[in-house]
Structure 1
C-alpha cells in the first residue's frame, strides 16, 4: 500500500475540485487531487453547455414557426433531422469537455490520484485499495448526482436522466418529464420544440426555483400553453410495458388519462456526493441530509482543517457558485491556519426556458419570512405583454417583480419571467451587489426602445410605494424578523 503525506488533498476533479486545487497550489506545492471518475465538469459534460446546445437548436425551430406573425411565410414543412441535431450537440459538447481536459492535462501527473476516497479519520484518506493519504488539510469537492424515487428503478433503461439525453444519437417520439425544475423545464421545452411529444409532471406546484406566487403562476400558465404541464400532478400508475412506460394520471380537469411514452426523464433534483466518503469516521457536523455544515464565507467546516466546495456543499448548485466556493476553500486550505472570508457575490440564477426565468438577490419567500412581522418591503411589477420592445419582437410574454426595503429604499431582489431575463438579471445582480437604492437605479441611463425600459417601469412602480425616511427605517430595523 502506497502512503503519501501532503499539505492539501482535494477530493474531486470537477469544477470545484479543479478550482480548489489551483487555488491551494498557489500557496503550497504539496497538493493532490483525487478523482474516481472521468475528469471534467458536470457543466461541460452533461449540464449547462450541452443543454444550451439542445436549446439553441429548439430556438432555431421556434424562430421559423414564429415567422408568419411578421408576415413571413417559410416555404414547405419544417424538417427536423434529429440525428443531425444530436450530432452537433455531442460534437460541440466534446469540444467544451476537451477544453477542460486540456487544463487537467497540464496538472503534474504525481498530483493526480485516481480512485475513490473515503475518510479513515479527520486527516487520513483511503483511495480504493492502493493509496493512503495523510493530509494536513482536506477539501471536499465531490459534486452531486441526480436523484429519484427508488421505485422508479423498475423502469430499467426506460428511466433516464439528463446525462443520458446527451448520449442519444436520435430523438425519441415521446418523453414524460418528472420535475419542472431548472433541468426539467429546459430539456422538456427543448425536446417539445424539436418534435418530441412531452408531458411534464410536478409535485406541490413548484416551477423552476421561483418562490413568488405571481411569477410562478404566470410561468406555469405560459409554459402550459405550449406543452402539457401539471405542476401538482396526480399520477396513479407508472410501470414498464415492453419498450414503453405506461402512465395513468388525472389531468388538469381531474379526468383520468392513460399514455405510453418511450422514456421517463427524472429531473427530480440532485443529491450531494458525500454518502460514500465514510464521513462517520470524522468529527464533522452534518445537516439532515448528511452534508458537512460549512461557513459560506470561508467554506470551513466544523473540523477547522476540512473545507467543502461546489455542489457537495448543498448551498447553491450553480457553476459560478462552485467556482467561487472553490477559490475560497482552496485559498483557505492552502494558507491554513490563516482563514479569511472570500467574496460572495449577489445570488443570481437563470432558467433558459422561453421566456426565460431568473432570480436575483433575496427571494420573495426569504423576504416574507424576514419581514413577516412588519411588512417592511414592497413590490414593483411590470408585465411584458404590452412592453414596446417586447411587442416589436413578438416576444411579449413575461412578468417582473422587484423588491425594495421601506425606509432605506434599498433594492433587495427580484423574480421574473420574460424576454432576455438573463440580461435583466445581470443588471439587477450588479445593482444588488453594489447595495444600490431604487432611486439610484432609476438614475442610471435607459435607452429607447429596449426591454430594459420594462425594468424601469417596475422600478418606478416600486419607488411609488416605498416610504423613505429615518422613522420608517428605524421601524424596520426593529422588526423581529430581521
Structure 2
C-alpha cells in the first residue's frame, strides 16, 4: 500500500544520501562541506564494498598467492626451498582478520558524522523530495542515490550449494579443493589466479570473448596466453550445471566442449545496481531498459530533477576512484541545486590485479590512432626479475599527443598510472620521452613505444635526441 504523501514529516534535511559506501560517504562529505544539512541513510552501515568484499580482501588473497608463487619459482634463481606447504585455513583467516581492520577503519568515518546525520533503514521514494525510512518520513531538498550493486547470479545455479560470490568467498574457512569461476572479467581472473597459485584446481568460463574487460584485442590475447600458463580459460561457452551431493558438475559447449565436477563455483558474472527497492516510479525519473535512471556524467544529475546518482548503482564505471569522484560531484551539486555545475572527469583508468597486471587507460584506439608497442619479453629489468613477458600499446593522435593505452605487463599497475597522468596533463610522446628514465627500471620499457609514436607522428627527433636505446631496456 503506497505511503500517504501528505503524511507528517519526521526529518528535514537539505541533502539525503541513500547508501553509505564509497560513493555515499563522498557525497555526504561533499554536500556537508558545501554547507548543506545532510542525512546519510543505510540499512546496515556495514562498511564499503571495497573494504568488506571487494578491493582489500581480494588483494589480501592475491598477496598470499604471490608469496606461494614466488617460492615455486625460486629454483630458476638457483634457490631451492623445502616443499611448499599451504595452510588454507591460515590463509583465509589472515584475509578476514586484516579485512575486518579495513572495514573498521571505514566505519570510523561513519561514526564521526555529526549527531542526527545518519539514519538506519531502507529508503524508498514517496515522491521526488520525500523518502520513507524505517517508518519515518524524510523531506529532502535533494537526494543522492548511492546504493551500490550486488552480484548477478545466473538462474542455472539457483538453489545449489557451494555457489560463491565476492560477498561470500572470503568467508570460506579453508581453500576449496576445486573451483569453477564463471566470468573472465577483472574480479573473476584476479581470484582465479590467486586460488590457482594457492594450489586450487581452477577453470574459468565466460560466454563472451573478452578477458579483463580489455578492448584492445592484442593485449587481451597476450593476457589470456599468460594466464593460461597457470589455469584454463574457456571463452565463448555456454555452461549448464547440476548438483550431486556437495559437488557441482558443469558441462560447457561453444568454443570448447567439456564436462567436469567442482567442489565450488565462484560466480563473477557482473553486478546489478541496487535500485529495485527504492520505488523509483514515485520519483518520476526517466529509466533505461535496465531500470537505471538516466543521468549526466558531468553533474551526476538525473534529468532536470533534484535527484543525483553516484557509484556502482549507476552501472557506469564500477571502480573505487570513480565512485568517490562521482560521490563528490553528486554531493556538491545536490547541495547547490538548482545551481548545477559540470565537473571535468579524470582520465579513465581501469586496472586488473592479475600477474602480470592489465590496464586500460584513456580512450580506446580508433582507425586514425597512432600506436606504439613495447614488448616486455626482452625488457632488461623484467629479465632480471624473471618476469619478461607481456606487452604495452600506447595510443596517440597525429600530433603525438597521448590519448590512451592498454597493457598486460609486469608492474603494469604502476606504468598505467604514469601513462594516465601523462594523458591527464596533455603530454605528447616526445614530452614524456623528455622525462628522466632511470636504468634499469620497468619504466624504461615505455620508451620504445613512445619512440614509435614519435616516428609516426608529425614530429621528428631533434639532433640532440638519442634515438637508440640501452641494450635490454
TM-score surpassing 0.5? Answer: yes
Report deviation, 1:207: 0.1
The equivalences for 1:13-412 within 5 A come to 13-75=20-82, 77-128=83-134, 130-155=135-160, 157-235=161-239, 237-250=240-253, 254=256, 256-364=257-365, 368=366, 375-406=367-398, 408-412=399-403
2:463 is aligned with 1:463 = no
| SS state at 2:440 partner | coil
Contact 2:183/2:206 (8 A) holds in 1: yes
Contact 2:294/2:303 (8 A) holds in 1: yes
Counterparts of 1:422 and 1:259, CA distance in 2: 34
Counterparts of 1:335 and 1:136, CA distance in 2: 10
Deviations 1:401-443 (A, max 9, x none): 011101x221010000010001100000100101111111111
Give the aligned partner of residue 4 of structure 2: none
Contact 1:251/1:257 (8 A) holds in 2: no
Report deviation, 1:26: 1.7
Contact 2:392/2:407 (8 A) holds in 1: yes
Contact 1:7/1:28 (8 A) holds in 2: no
Contact 1:39/1:104 (8 A) holds in 2: no
- Higher mean displacement: 163-172 or 416-425: 163-172
Counterparts of 2:403 and 2:60, CA distance in 1: 33
Deviations 1:31-55 (A, max 9, x none): 1111012331000000000000000
Contact 1:34/1:112 (8 A) holds in 2: yes
Counterparts of 2:370 and 2:244, CA distance in 1: 52
Counterparts of 1:205 and 1:193, CA distance in 2: 24
Counterparts of 1:141 and 1:258, CA distance in 2: 41
2:433 is aligned with 1:442 = yes
Counterparts of 2:455 and 2:334, CA distance in 1: 48
Counterparts of 1:388 and 1:29, CA distance in 2: 55
Report deviation, 1:282: 2.0
- Higher mean displacement: 215-224 or 282-291: 282-291
Report deviation, 1:281: 1.3
Counterparts of 2:301 and 2:254, CA distance in 1: 48
Deviations 1:209-260 (A, max 9, x none): 200111111111111121111122243x3111111101123596x4x53211
Counterparts of 2:36 and 2:233, CA distance in 1: 53
Contact 2:36/2:335 (8 A) holds in 1: no
Contact 1:397/1:418 (8 A) holds in 2: yes
Contact 2:45/2:120 (8 A) holds in 1: no
Deviations 1:328-351 (A, max 9, x none): 111111122222223421111111
Counterparts of 1:18 and 1:423, CA distance in 2: 27
For structure 1, list consecutive stretches of 5 or more residues without a partner in the other structure: 369-374, 470-482
Counterparts of 1:202 and 1:386, CA distance in 2: 32
Report deviation, 1:114: 1.0
Counterparts of 2:401 and 2:277, CA distance in 1: 44
Contact 2:45/2:107 (8 A) holds in 1: no
Cα distance 1:27–1:49, how it changes in 2: closer, same or farther (>3 A)? same
- Higher mean displacement: 434-443 or 335-344: 335-344
- Higher mean displacement: 78-87 or 330-339: 330-339
Counterparts of 1:379 and 1:203, CA distance in 2: 30
Contact 1:442/1:459 (8 A) holds in 2: yes
TM-score (ref. length: structure 2): 0.93
Counterparts of 2:344 and 2:60, CA distance in 1: 31
Deviations 1:80-125 (A, max 9, x none): 0011111111010000001011111111342111111111111111
Counterparts of 1:234 and 1:40, CA distance in 2: 35
| SS state at 1:289 partner | coil
Contact 1:220/1:231 (8 A) holds in 2: no
Question: What is the aligned-residue RMSD (CA, Å)?
Answer: 1.6
Report deviation, 1:149: 1.6
Counterparts of 2:36 and 2:225, CA distance in 1: 55
Contact 1:284/1:303 (8 A) holds in 2: no
Report deviation, 1:279: 1.0
Counterparts of 1:450 and 1:461, CA distance in 2: 19
Counterparts of 1:43 and 1:278, CA distance in 2: 26
Counterparts of 1:209 and 1:303, CA distance in 2: 32
Report deviation, 1:19: 1.0
| SS state at 1:154 partner | coil
TM-score (ref. length: structure 1): 0.91
